[in-house]
Amino acid sequence: MENKKVPAYTKKSLRDRWSHDLRHNWWLWVMFLPVVVYYAIFSYAPMYGILMAFKDYKVRRGIWGSPWVGFKYFDRFFSSYNFWILIKNTLGISVYSLVIGFPTAIIFALLVLILVIASFTSVVASTFQSTVDANGNPYDFITVGMDNASGNASTATTSLLFIVIAIIFGYFVYRRGAKVGPATVIGVIGIIVITFIGLNVGINLPRTPWIIFIAVYITLASLLPVWILLQPRDYLSSFLLYGMMILALVGVLGGSWNSEFELEAFTGWQSSSGYLFPTLFITVACGAISGFHSLVASGTSSKQINSEKDAKVIGYGAMIVECILAILSLIAAATVWHLVQGGENSLGLTMSSPPTIFAGGLATLVANMTGTVADFSNPLFNTVYTLLTLAVSVFALTSLDTGTRLGRYMFTELFVREGEDPAKITGFRGFLAKPVVGTIILVAIGCSLGYANVTAIWALFGAANQLLAGLALMAVACWLGNIGKSNKMFFIPMVFMMIATLTSLVITVTQRINSVMAGGADWTIWFQLIFAVALIILAVVVSISGIQTFAKQAKGVITGDAKAVEATK
């Protein structure tokens, strides 16, 4: 085969390349020409007038013919009496316009939801993780047998199977037309079966794999239609809640006489957790008013109730149940307080996370009621512990994907104008408005923060949650004022919640600054400091906007959409 000589490459000049491009792509240049002309006439040509700032302008002589004066006018302006007044007013108006036009309320709610994701990711991962037994021997990935499966591993297995049951329940009820009554009976039986499986089969993984699993799970759960997982899981988990409450009450009433409560009374104004004010009121308020619950109530619950009349029963009933649960939690902590404080580990538990303290304490009460040993060698203790931790983990997972779903809605609102269809937005703004993008961003941030210890997140989340509750009261008060109804009953709790939570955040900022100044501050310290400062700034901005709204309403001004206000009267 004859080898052909390849001609040498000759580099073309810039002129030749331009000429070649014009001949072959002339139609593109024709399309581009109007754009060039537009910007040349309306953007670049007017810049010629900037020369006037450096000339003693004479109309007859024109801009170019007028004499140069250099920086004469600039020097006069900078040295004038009104210079700083003009600068202050200009910056003030700009900042005010930014504050009014910026979606501060949405940003604030997003920060709180990120804390929700971080807090419950840490809680669930702590509840599921299991690596070594009480003797320090590492577990296999799968352990079989009630004597071999740890409490956390059993909870992990049961929680995963609960998700499967919820999906099956949702499919048959919402897509196959199965009646709710028989399906509920089968679902409850299924919960009993998976609990038995979980007691005998444990999945043992460290914290990091569980955090990755949680991230994948809440991403999918928050993007799926609510009938696939959210509704059926919440419905079935309500029976877990009822069973947990009954079991806990039986344990408290029957086992208290045979148990020791070692939780000491609080006798001072300050403890390791902080000052009595505002810590006490933030802790107590979580069972009575919650910003996260206000978001859930308006974002998901309101879309699932049959009638608006049901909202009162559901809202009030939920707070009553949560208050009872708070009392049971206090009793549970008092039961195993010596394990939490002394570091004992006779139960084979790490008594540090809220779920293990709660489940371990109530399981101890049930075991004491029957006169049996309170550790995992007792099948009764093991079963009660697994059921209680299952209930806690299920509700934590519910909070996770509900918070992620709400955060996705709010993240999308940042990039969608009023009346605009997110699906029709193009460009980078349209990319950010996609549900998948917002979900991944929120999950990545929240679950990354979930690596921190629960105590590093929970205090900040508690204050932020109650601060959002105060802002929710403000929003309702503004709405009532718009429609001409009395809103005075909201002012006292609103102001109290704002003062208590802002005080807590200021204390957090002060403590974290001291830690940074002392040196050696890790990323959790910086995280708490940055989040606390951001929450304070956003809360102050939103509060100022609310005060201005109340002031206008006091003068009889309608501050909302007049047509919408009239429709609600």
393 vs 73, more confident:
393
Residue 95: name the closest of 541, 530, 418, 502 by CA.
Answer: 541
Which pLDDT does position 216 carry in this prediction? 92
User: Where is mean pLDDT largest: 163-177, 377-391, 461-475?
Assistant: 163-177
Q: How far apart are CA 173 and CA 63, in angstroms?
A: 80
Q: Contact, 349 vs 360, CB < 8 A?
A: yes
* Beta-bridge mates of residue 270: 275
Q: How far apart are CA 468 and CA 200, in angstroms?
A: 43
Residue with tokens 């992990």, as numbered in its chain: 156
Q: How far apart are CA 356 and CA 338, in angstroms?
A: 14
Catalogue the E-assigned strands of 219-320. Answer: 270-271, 274-275
Q: Contact, 133 vs 348, CB < 8 A?
A: yes
Other CB atoms within 10 Å distance of the CB of residue 339: 22
CA 244 to chain centre: 26
Other CB atoms within 10 Å distance of the CB of residue 527: 18
Taking residues 460-487, report their average pLDDT.
Answer: 84
Q: How confident is the model at residue 215 (pLDDT cuts 50, 70, 90)?
A: very high
Torsion of CA 248, 250, 256, 259, to 10 degrees: -70
| Residue 214 in tokens | 């949680």
Q: Is 12 exposed, middle or buried (0-12, 13-18, 19+ CB in 10 A)?
A: exposed
Which pLDDT does position 6 carry in this prediction? 45
Q: How high does pLDDT run on average in the chain?
A: 80
Phi and psi, residue 92, nearest 5°? -60, -45
Size of the chain, expressed as the number of residues it contains = 569
Residue with tokens 């919650």, as numbered in its chain: 290
Cis peptide before 278 (omega within 30 of 0): yes
Which pLDDT does position 323 carry in this prediction? 81
Convert 141-173 to b/e letters by CB count within 10 Å (16 or more is b). eebeebebbbbbbbbbbbbbbbbebbeebbebb
Q: How far apart are CA 335 and CA 362, in angstroms?
A: 8
Q: Indicate the SS3 state at residue 310.
A: helix
Q: How confident is the model at residue 373 (pLDDT cuts 50, 70, 90)?
A: confident
Percent of the chain with pLDDT over 90: 5
Which pLDDT does position 250 carry in this prediction? 87
Is pLDDT above 60 for 84? yes
Q: Give ∠ CA 40-44-46 in degrees, rounded to 5.
A: 115
Range name among 221-235, 514-528, 550-564 with the lowest pLDDT average: 550-564
CA 122 to chain centre: 13
CA distances to 92, 94, 107, 463, 533 from 537, in Å = 16, 17, 11, 14, 6
Q: How confident is the model at residue 286 (pLDDT cuts 50, 70, 90)?
A: low
| Residue 25 in tokens | 């792509």
What residue type is assigned to position 357 of the chain? I
Residue 377: name the closest of 394, 390, 396, 363 by CA.
Answer: 363
Which pLDDT does position 165 carry in this prediction? 92
Phi and psi, residue 138, nearest 5°? -70, 140
| Residue 101 in tokens | 């036009």
Residue with tokens 């937005």, as numbered in its chain: 425
Range name among 195-204, 342-351, 492-501 with the lowest pLDDT average: 342-351
Is pLDDT above 50 for 102? yes
Q: Contact, 504 vs 532, CB < 8 A?
A: no
Task: Return the DSSP state at 345.
Answer: -
Q: How far apart are CA 96 and CA 285, in angstroms?
A: 33
| Residue 85 in tokens | 């007044």
Taking residues 303-309, report their average pLDDT.
Answer: 80
Q: Is 467 exposed, middle or buried (0-12, 13-18, 19+ CB in 10 A)?
A: buried
Q: Which contiguous run of DSSP H or E holds residue 406?
A: helix 379-413
Query: pLDDT by residue (tens digit) across 421-432?
Result: 877 888 888 888
Is pLDDT above 80 for 14? no
Query: pLDDT by residue (tens digit) across 145-169?
Result: 777 777 788 888 888 999 999 999 9
Residue with tokens 């997972």, as numbered in its chain: 397
